[in-house]
Each structure stands twice: as structure tokens, then as C-alpha cells.
């Protein structure tokens, strides 16, 4: 069973230091146009392949 009555005393300066480290950390770089372009290309390729499969299934069903 846990003993909750003997909680350690927190150091207020420790939380301030952690907050400053969080604020001062570098921001992630925004997505580049090349990354978005490759994603768009993959989505377009996926749609084209899906259409080809659907057209193939319909062709075989009608045949």
C-alpha cells in the first residue's frame, strides 16, 4: 500500500528551470514544399491505381 503522507518537498526552482528549458528549446521546422509535393504525388498515384483496379474489375464483370 502506498504511503501518501510522506510526500517529498518540491523545489520551486526546479519547476522554473524545467519551464525555461521547455520555452527555450528550438521549435520544429515547418514542412517543406518538397515534402508536401511528394505526399501529393503519392496520393495522386494511389488514386490512379485505385481507379485502374476498379475499371479492371468492372471490365471483367461486364465481359
Q: Which helix (H) or strand (E) holds 5?
A: none
Position with higher pLDDT, 16 vs 48: 48
Question: Would you state the pLDDT for residue 39?
Answer: 82
∠ CA(18), CA(23), CA(27), 5° rounding? 130
DSSP string, 48-63: HHHHHHHHHHHHHHH-
What was the pLDDT predicted at 34?
58
State pLDDT tens for residues 43-53: 999 999 999 99
Confidence band, pLDDT 50/70/90 cuts, at residue 10: low
Phi-psi group of 12: left, alpha or beta (phi > 0 → left; psi -120 to 50 → alpha; rest → beta)? alpha
pLDDT 10s digits, 18-45:
777 777 777 777 666 556 667 888 899 9
Amino acid at each position: 500500500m502506498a504511503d501518501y503522507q510522506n510526500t517529498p518537498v518540491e523545489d520551486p526552482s526546479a519547476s522554473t528551470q524545467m519551464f525555461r528549458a521547455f520555452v527555450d528549446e528550438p521549435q520544429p521546422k515547418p514542412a517543406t514544399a518538397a515534402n508536401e509535393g511528394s505526399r501529393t504525388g503519392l496520393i495522386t498515384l494511389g488514386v490512379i491505381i485505385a481507379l485502374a483496379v476498379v475499371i479492371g474489375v468492372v471490365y471483367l464483370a461486364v465481359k
